[in-house]
Amino acid sequence: MREKADSDLVRRQNRLLLLEALRQHGAMARVDMGRHTGLSPASITSISSQLIGDGILEEAHTPHTAAEGPQRRGRPTTQIDFNPKGANVVAVKVSIDGLELALADARGAILARRTSRSATHDADSAAFGKLVADEITALLTKARVPTRRVARVGIAVQGVADSQAGTVVWSPAFRGRNISVAAAIEERLGIACRVANDANMIAEGLIGSDRKRYGGTAAVVFMGWGVGMGLIINGQVYHGPTGAAAEFGHMNHLPDGPLCRCGRRGCVEAYVADYSLLRWASGHAATQPPSSNAIPPDDMLALEAAAHRGEPAAVSAYAKAGEALGFGLARLIAILTPARIVLAGPGTRAMPLIRPHLERALEQGVVDELRRTVEIEVVPIDTDMIIKGTIDRALRHVDREIFAHGPLKKGRELETVA
Amino acid sequence: MREKADSDLVRRQNRLLLLEALRQHGAMARVDMGRHTGLSPASITSISSQLIGDGILEEAHTPHTAAEGPQRRGRPTTQIDFNPKGANVVAVKVSIDGLELALADARGAILARRTSRSATHDADSAAFGKLVADEITALLTKARVPTRRVARVGIAVQGVADSQAGTVVWSPAFRGRNISVAAAIEERLGIACRVANDANMIAEGLIGSDRKRYGGTAAVVFMGWGVGMGLIINGQVYHGPTGAAAEFGHMNHLPDGPLCRCGRRGCVEAYVADYSLLRWASGHAATQPPSSNAIPPDDMLALEAAAHRGEPAAVSAYAKAGEALGFGLARLIAILTPARIVLAGPGTRAMPLIRPHLERALEQGVVDELRRTVEIEVVPIDTDMIIKGTIDRALRHVDREIFAHGPLKKGRELETVA
DNA sequence: AACATTTTTTTGGACGCCGAAATAAAACAA
DNA sequence: TTGTTTTATTTCGGCGTCCAAAAAAATGTT
């Protein structure tokens, strides 16, 4: 109970209700909107016609060929969907070896992509801001979309992002700390911009893909070059008080454990991440500082093969990873008891090697009653999930902050209409 | 966005807004309500006069003696407050050695108390339901308050409560498991009833006492006969998907650690709880099953004194507790980064002994950047906080579920009016 | 006694919802 | 072909709640 209720709130809330139904179920007739929102047909007519007038939705004039099933009696429905020209969003994924960009329309369809191998590692706020802004401009030029049509930019990074301040607090992609990103983009391009952790964006994408399944309380653990986590609490991706994401990867497993990239010892990541597995297997001391170079995928494949062949060092590396991951999840369950834990990322390829040890750790670490209520599933996520999640999140934000507000009288003059 | 918005929602929301302002700041004039809620004077007049008509609020006809400050110019204000006769609530605290009850009016003032030493340990659902119902009846008889005036009963227990099902999943107060409580009360007395974990009720009480301070994201750790936690996320006490509270006490600290009451090994509780400290200090094997008897407070005082005198076994017990607690909090911070961690309960008496080890563990277990954003404070909580929190929570629920709904036309005929 | 100042109530208008009735657009039936 | 049935959508009038502006109330000040 935050906001006072008046007719303005009613309009926003119901417009948003309708937009959300459309996002979730795709194009639908007015009747279906009524079913999904609980609003009366009269209200649906009124709201939808306004949204169409605002250029946000449009009636599908499909020659009804794609009509599902046999034609039923009665007046045929007219499908309504987002107007693709209503607004655009841009998603940017920052990784160690470059940038990946995508431009999407209001329906979430990707219109153009762009990849850049520019080195970001040594960039400071100014340089990185310019780089991203230039890349976005190039992407828009290619797609012939004017800048003012872009309602929002979402940026996903590995590491700790402060989404409130719009900065990258710490990331393996940068040598520096507290790189300010959002402000630079907003200043250079005049587009609202949001920075977020990449695991959170995967969580966002999962919510978008199946609200039933992932909409309650769930944790998404990303295993690969590092270990990240996105937390969904009551259907919302959790950003802590400071806007930073959960740092499951840097949760301690054992005091005085192996050295982690973050400088502490015994973090979960120092057992489970790619570099950690290789370090165990190569017989190097656990106190050896982890390499900061990117790891060629082939190295991991070779390690997995070795473990499958039964080579002791490799087998034991995965055993240690499984135990650390299992106790980590056990601790997570003790605190939050999420309904579902999703393991994702390239690291899950080795799940058959890890799983038995993970399960054993869970048995040791969690009371049976709790363990049974948590479902653990493995989703081999294609990397594009980060981009898609970023787009999803940006669009949901546009729905809420721009589309739901109705005819933008005064104030921002964002040209969202064709 | 869950609910469709219509005039009904508007009324509920604004009535609730006003009631919450009143709960938080106490009696106030209509002007102040306008300031707190953002509603226009016209609306405030309308809403407040309806609430008064419903018997929920009342004008204070104090002879303005208590008027603060020198009389100012202009029409004097009329204070408005909850009508104490609007509704009553009952709070019940269940502990190992008996029941503690309190009856409060709509302002939260406690009208009557009752303590009972009845043994609950061997009770099953039926017997316990009867016991609680009888105790409540006796309390009401003493206070001459008819049963139908009680809008809600809140029950706080140690251990795991499923607040959705209204059952006690597991508690040191009971030998049995899954004791159904809420249903029994509702059936016998016809009063809505809610079961909750006692640490959660402390959290609820803290929110009520200082929303600014505890209203964001915070964790309340209770240290004493056991270790419990209440989690506040975005201003709301978190109840997991199953309605169970956080089980910080049974979060694993070290694999193969000391045996815990829950049957696992290495739980935080097995280092920090009263029985664990005594076990370390007495030199018993860590695999010795913990005693299930209540521990006399004097034993703990003696142990503290021994540690202050520097007896090695006692000192080391507190060192181990501090380390376990510190790493436990470090893991909590990695996952949620709460803005504030509150340590509470009798166990905090020994904080001077524990603190240095706790701090050292935090340094080892948490990235500096995160550690700095978390404030850790010690609050020596009087036991009554659980009762007060339970009352608070019950009243807030009455505000939301009954008072905000307006003149109860059809349906429930709960006589809330004098 | 007249004015100033602050709080509270009254009045009239706006907005957005809803139910009921009307209209639209098809399939089906004679 | 023409009417009937069926389903989708729009139109219309009423209702509830908000707000701004004006009025009333209650007191202090001059």
Task: Clarify whether residues B98 and B77 are in a common domain.
Answer: no
- Order across the sheet with A167-170: list the strands: A160-162, A167-170, A179-180
Taking only the tens place, the pLDDT of each residue in B27-72 is: 999 999 999 999 999 999 999 999 999 999 999 876 544 445 557 7
Quick one: which residue's CA is nearest to D29's C1'? Answer: B73
Residue A418 domain flag: no
| HEC secondary structure over chain B | CCCCCCHHHHHHHHHHHHHHHHHHHCCECHHHHHHHHCCCHHHHHHHHHHHHHCCCEEECCCCCCCCCCCCCCCCCCCCEEECHHHCEEEEEEEECCEEEEEEEECCCCEEEEEEECCCCCCCCHHHHHHHHHHHHHHHHHHHCCCHHHEEEEEEEECCEEECCCCEEEECCCCCCCCEECHHHHHHHHCCCEEEEEHHHHHHHHHHHHCHHHHCCCEEEEEECCCEEEEEEECCEECCCCCCCCCCHHHCECCCCCCECCCCCECECHHHHCHHHHHHHHCCCCCCCCCCCCCCCHHHHHHHHHHHHHCCHHHHHHHHHHHHHHHHHHHHHHHHHCCCEEEEECHHHHHHHHHHHHHHHHHHHHCCHHHHHHCEEEEECCCCHHHHHHHHHHHHHHHHHHCHHHCCCCCCCCCCCCC
Q: How many domains does chain A have?
A: 3
Q: Which chain B residues are Cβ-neighbours of A251 within 8 angstroms? A: 330-331, 334-335
Q: What is the CATH number of the domain that holds A326?
A: 3.30.420.40
Structure tokens at B11: 């009324």
Same domain, B136 and B174: yes
At A97, is the pLDDT very low, low, confident or very high (cuts 50, 70, 90)?
confident
Q: Identify whether residues A236 and A134 lie together within a single domain.
A: no
Question: What pLDDT does A380 receive?
Answer: 80
Nearest to B191 by CA among B142, B132, B144: B132
Residue in chain B lying closest to A2 (CA)? B17
Q: Is the CB of A41 under 7 A from strand C?
A: yes
Taking a C-beta distance cutoff of 8 angstroms, is the pair A81, A60 a contact? yes
Q: What is the pLDDT of residue B111?
A: 98
The stretch A260-287 carries a mean pLDDT of: 87
Q: How confident is the model at residue A409 (pLDDT cuts 50, 70, 90)?
A: very low
Q: Is the pLDDT of residue A186 over 90?
A: yes
How many Cβ pairs within 8 Å bridge chains A and B? 170
Alpha-carbon distance A253 to A394, whole Å? 35
The pLDDT tens digits for A233-249 are: 999 999 988 777 688 99
Assign B2 a pLDDT band (cuts: 50, 70, 90). Answer: confident
pLDDT band at B417 (very low <50, low <70, confident <90, very high): very low
d(CA B401, CA B83): 17
Per cent of chain B over pLDDT 70 is 93
Alpha-carbon gap, residue A175 to A247, rounded angstroms = 19
Residue A300: inside a domain = yes
Of A7, A16, A241, the CB nearest to B338: A241
Of A170, A240, A264, the CB nearest to B217: A240
Amino acid at B302: A
pLDDT at B286 over 50: yes
> Cβ–Cβ contacts within 10 Å for residue A71, how many?
8
The pLDDT value given to residue A411? 33
B45 Cβ nearer than 7 Å to chain C strand: yes
Query: At what angle are helices B297-309 and B312-336 packed, to 10 degrees?
Result: 100
Query: Domain check: are A195 and A220 in the same one?
Result: no
What CA–CA distance (Å, rounded) separates B418 from B100?
27
Beta-bridge mates of residue A114: A101
List, edge to edge, every strand of the sheet that includes B179-180. Answer: B160-162, B167-170, B179-180
Structure tokens at A359: 């399960």
**Model confidence at A96: pLDDT above 90:** no
Distances (CA, A) of A287 to A224, A247, A283, B255: 21, 21, 11, 21
Same domain, B353 and B290: yes
What are A231's strand-pairing partners? A219
pLDDT of residue B224: 87
pLDDT digits (tens, 9 = 90+) for A123-163: 888 899 999 999 999 999 999 999 999 999 999 998 889 88
- How far is the C-alpha of A106 from the C-alpha of B129, rounded, in Å? 56
Which of B53, B82, B111 marks a domain boundary?
A: B82
Same domain (yes/no): B392, B364: no
DSSP strand E in A224-293: where? 227-233, 236-237
Asked whether the beta carbons of B48 and B78 are under 8 A apart, the reply is no
Query: Among A86-90, A92-96, A275-279, A381-385, which stretch is predicted with the lowest mean pLDDT?
Result: A381-385
Model confidence at A102, pLDDT cuts 50, 70, 90, reads very high
Under a CB-based contact definition with an 8 Å cutoff, are residues A329 and A363 in contact? Answer: no
For residues B228 and B294, membership in a common domain is answered with: yes
A263 neighbors A333 (Cβ within 8 angstroms): no
User: What was the pLDDT predicted at B63?
Assistant: 53
Residue A158 lies in a domain: yes
Based on the domain organization, do B138 and B228 belong to the same domain?
Answer: no
Report which listed range, A80-94, A227-241, A258-272, B213-227, is most confident: A80-94
What is the share, in percent, of chain A residues with pLDDT greater than 90?
70
Residue A312, in any domain of the structure: yes
Domain that holds residue B399: 86-191+385-405
- Please report, for the domain that includes residue B57, its CATH number: 1.10.10.10
CA atoms of A231 and A247, how far apart (whole Å): 10
The Cα–Cα gap between A272 and A347 comes to: 8
pLDDT-wise least confident of A52-61, A263-272, B30-39, B56-65:
B56-65
On whether both A364 and A300 belong to a single domain, the answer is: yes
Question: In this structure, are B229 and B301 located in the same domain?
Answer: yes
Indicate whether A273 and A312 sit together in one domain. Answer: yes
Residue A410 domain flag = no
Specify if B199 maps to a domain.
no
Chain A residues within 8 A of B238 when measuring between CB atoms? 233, 336
Query: The tokens 């309500």 sit on which residue?
Result: B33
* B185 closest CA partner among B101, B243, B104: B101
Residues A395 and A377 in one domain: no
- Chain B: residue whose CA lies nearest to A339: B241
Contact A202, A386 (CB under 8 A): yes
Which of A259, A203, A212, A271 has the alpha carbon at shortest distance from A236? A203
CB contact under 8 A, B37 and A4: yes
Q: Residue A113: inside a domain, yes or no?
A: yes
On average, the pLDDT of chain A sits at 89
Whether the predicted pLDDT of A165 surpasses 60:
yes
Distance CA B257, CA A199 (A): 32
Is residue B292 one of the residues assigned to a domain?
A: yes
Per-residue pLDDT, A401: 95
What are the pLDDT digits (tens) for B181-236? 999 999 999 999 999 999 999 999 999 888 889 988 999 999 988 899 999 999 99
Q: Which nucleotide is nearest to B72 (CA to C1')?
A: D28
Domain boundary among B62, B82, B102: B82
Q: What is the pLDDT of residue B68?
A: 55
What confidence tier does A412 reach under pLDDT thresholds 50, 70, 90?
Answer: very low
* CA gap A236, A123 in Å, rounded: 33
Residue B62's pLDDT is 66
Q: Could you tell me the pLDDT band of residue A283, with boundaries at 50, 70 and 90?
A: confident
Q: Are B14 and A4 an interchain contact pair (Cβ–Cβ within 8 Å)?
A: yes
Last residue of one domain, picked from the residues A49, A84, A119: A84
Instruction: Provide the token pair at B336.
Output: 């949620």
Residue owning tokens 């039923």? A72
